[in-house]
Amino acid sequence: MGQIVKIVAILIFILVFILVAYTITVKIFNGVTENITNDIVNNLTGGSDSSKIEKKPCTTAKHKREFKSEAYYSGPLIDSHVHFPTSSKIVSSVAGKNGLELPVLEGNLSADKLICIFESEGILKTFVFHITSKFAEGSAVSTAKEIEKNYPGKLVHFIMPPPVLSLNIDPSGIGSILNGNKGLFKGFGELALYMGGYEGTKPNDSNFKEIYKMAKEHNLIVMIHPEDNLKTGIEEILKDNPDVTFFFHGGRNQEWIIGLMDQYKNFYYSIDGDLVSLYGAGGGLQFKNNTAKEEYLNYMKKSFNANLEEAVSRWKKRIEAHPDRFTWGSDRWYSWHFDPEVGGMLEEFGRSFIGRLSPGVQENFAYKNAEKMLQ
């Protein structure tokens, strides 16, 4: 009998030992798993606190004019075309590996500093495109929500599909974002049909038609940069979606779109980076790397007046023929585009250009047409 009691006691001890060991192992495993998960999430979102945005006092000085244009617009502006830095380091990395610089929202490019720069330029609000990947959609949404909480109405948020098709969120996923964040996003795009995985993609493809239906439902602006050979597709979507507001841009070689303004009333056109040679100029001059700031500023200071005359010659009549359809923008994207000196140059050139438009057209182009899109 005593021997049986000893055996039972030993078995109980072994069982307890196994249970304790199992519990400790599970806790250790869960802790490791949690750390791994946190590491993945932090890499996707850019850090555990990347979506935390604090409102801070603006200390950026207003730009002082360098060029004495006779006519100069000094009223409010809306920048209708800005690629906002991503809050996801992994999205930035993938974009870089595909030849596209995409800065991360941190340090000198923090949300409060960028909004401060816009304010110093007299910009009432800014249309910003958040690249939203299916592997990091939460970071783009949380960033937009945090900005809106701290700086309500300062930014107009767009969901922008990445130029890598494999990273795109399908239409049902876009619908989930919109339904779960009512009123947060005001637009979809820029849909860049000229670069990356989008070359050869048409604006009337079936996936995009689903997006246009959502745009009507959620009152979204759809921003597209098409190529010249997509005129047929552009006309089709304008005709088939009369209740959707479309928004185009495209530089010097897409003026065919302007020819559609008399026939279709449901689109606007942004004149932005091309106006100020932000990405390059004639003779193969390119400004596309992280060290391009000084090159760009030197070029613009030497060519300011000549570029202004050329821009007025090319755009003034077109804008004045359709005074309710064009908007001003900058097309900022790369890190140096958000430098205060560069921003000051964009502002001064823009105001000098607007000053050369007829007085009754200036405010429309500067901000009122952009406001009308939001109504």
Per-residue confidence band for 200, with pLDDT thresholds at 50, 70 and 90: confident
What is the mean pLDDT of the segment spanning 65-77?
A: 94
Residue 27 pLDDT > 50, yes or no? no
Higher confidence at residue 243 or residue 42?
243
Per residue in 79-116, is it b (16+ CB within 10 Å) or e — as a string? Answer: bbbbbbbbbbbbbbebbeeeebebbbbeeebebbbbbb
Residue 26 pLDDT > 70, yes or no? no
- pLDDT for 4: 52
pTM listed for this prediction: 0.86
Give the CATH fold of the 50-374 domain: TIM Barrel (3.20.20)
Query: What is the C-alpha separation between 297 and 300, in angstroms, rounded?
Result: 5
Six-digit token string for 64: 């002082």
**What region, left, alpha or beta, does residue 335 occupy, with left being phi > 0 and alpha being psi -120 to 50 degrees?**
alpha
215 close to 158: Cβ distance less than 8 angstroms = no
Q: Mutual orientation of helices 137-150 and 2-45 as an angle, nearest 10°?
A: 70
The answer to whether the peptide bond before residue 347 is cis (omega within 30 degrees of 0) is no
Average pLDDT, the chain: 86
**What region, left, alpha or beta, does residue 79 occupy, with left being phi > 0 and alpha being psi -120 to 50 degrees?**
beta
Contacts of 323 (CB under 8 A, 6+ apart): 360, 361, 364, 365
Query: What is the C-alpha separation between 19 and 290, in angstroms, rounded?
Result: 58
DSSP code at position 128: E
